[in-house]
Amino acid sequence: MIETIFFEASMHQFAYFINWLALTLLWMISLRIKDSSIIDIYWGFGFVLIAWACSFHNYMNGLGSTDIQEILLVMVTIWGLRLTYYLARRNLGHGEDYRYVKMRNASKRDWRLVSYFRVFMLQGVLQAIISWPIFLIFSLDTNKGSSALVAFAIIFFIIGFLFESIADQQMKKFKSDPNNSSKIMNKGLWKYSRHPNYFGDFLQWFAIFVLSLSTGSFLGAVAPAMMLFIFFKLTIRLLEKPQSKKRPGYNQYIDDTNMFFPGPRSKKD
């Protein structure tokens, strides 16, 4: 069984299997603690697991690693572990997120099965799609214009990492003050974008896509494109919808401030 997984399964299949196993175990934990929102914490770590699974599969099959593959591992690991640590510190001990409580209460079927497929396995599918630049880098030759692409990728990644990290810390400090419970965070990076942390997240995945161009394939573009779709069509809508009721002046903040890409405010403070 173990030999079949290591040597007969493709790299993609092996990575999918490892991620599926981790998601299933996490789902079992969520049933035990009655908190499906722990899936949010796993989002970043799942990509770290997938990247290292690809590297391990190649190693077990006698394939050496390239410089670009090692750079990719560093990028994905830094991005994923930072996000995992940040979300774990923010979310653990505060109970199930209201979004999942709402889904649980609205479900007309057994939430155990619904959460497995609609929450945990759906995230696994999204991770599989977004991981395409990872699969490309670990399965194809990475010597096409690599020097310039690596330089650009590293620059984009560093900028994105700083944007996301600084924005998260600014918001954390803002929320730590009880006097800000009904106020709007429009200082620092949040003055130029309503979601600078998501912009930084996207920029890091754009960097990973740029790195995947060293294979000569453009298929890695699916990663930043999918991240934009998730942010624009799902995450931002869910987050901003209740803010107008909770925070007076939020609609004005929406009118004055770019939603995603940082830029000058349309009106002065």
Q: What is the pLDDT of residues 135-170, one digit of tens each?
A: 999 998 877 767 889 999 999 999 999 999 999 999
Least reliable range by pLDDT among 43-47, 106-110, 122-126? 106-110
Quick one: CA torsion of 67, 73, 79, 81, rounded to 10 degrees? -140
Helix (H, G, I), strand (E, B) or coil at 37: helix
Helix (H, G, I), strand (E, B) or coil at 143: coil
**Contact between residue 221 and residue 157 where contact means Cβ atoms under 8 Å apart:** no
Cα–Cα distance measured from residue 40 to residue 86, given in angstroms and rounded to the nearest whole number = 11
Q: Could you tell me where the DSSP H helices lie in the chain?
A: 2-3, 11-33, 39-60, 67-91, 98-106, 111-114, 122-130, 132-139, 146-175, 196-212, 222-230, 236-240, 243-246, 250-256
* pLDDT at position 83: 97
**Contact between residue 182 and residue 242 where contact means Cβ atoms under 8 Å apart:** no
At 22-57, the pLDDT tens digits run 999 999 999 999 999 999 999 999 999 999 999 999
Residue 263 has pLDDT above 50, yes or no: yes
Residue 248 has pLDDT above 60, yes or no: yes
* pLDDT at position 268: 46
Non-local (6+) Cβ contacts of 21 within 8 A are: none
**Contact between residue 52 and residue 175 where contact means Cβ atoms under 8 Å apart:** no
Helix (H, G, I), strand (E, B) or coil at 262: coil
* pLDDT at position 180: 86
* pLDDT at position 2: 46
Residue 124 has pLDDT above 90, yes or no: yes
Residue 7 has pLDDT above 50, yes or no: no
**Contact between residue 156 and residue 206 where contact means Cβ atoms under 8 Å apart:** yes
pTM: 0.92
Q: CA angle, 123 as apex, 122 and 126 as ends, to 5°? A: 90
At 178-208, the pLDDT tens digits run 998 888 999 999 999 999 999 999 999 999 9
Domain edges within the chain = 1-137, 140-269
Band of the pLDDT at 98, cuts 50, 70, 90? confident
Band of the pLDDT at 123, cuts 50, 70, 90? very high
Residue 67 has pLDDT above 50, yes or no: yes
Band of the pLDDT at 17, cuts 50, 70, 90? very high
Cα–Cα distance measured from residue 265 to residue 41, given in angstroms and rounded to the nearest whole number = 32
* pLDDT at position 113: 94
Mean pLDDT of 102-110: 90
* pLDDT at position 143: 75
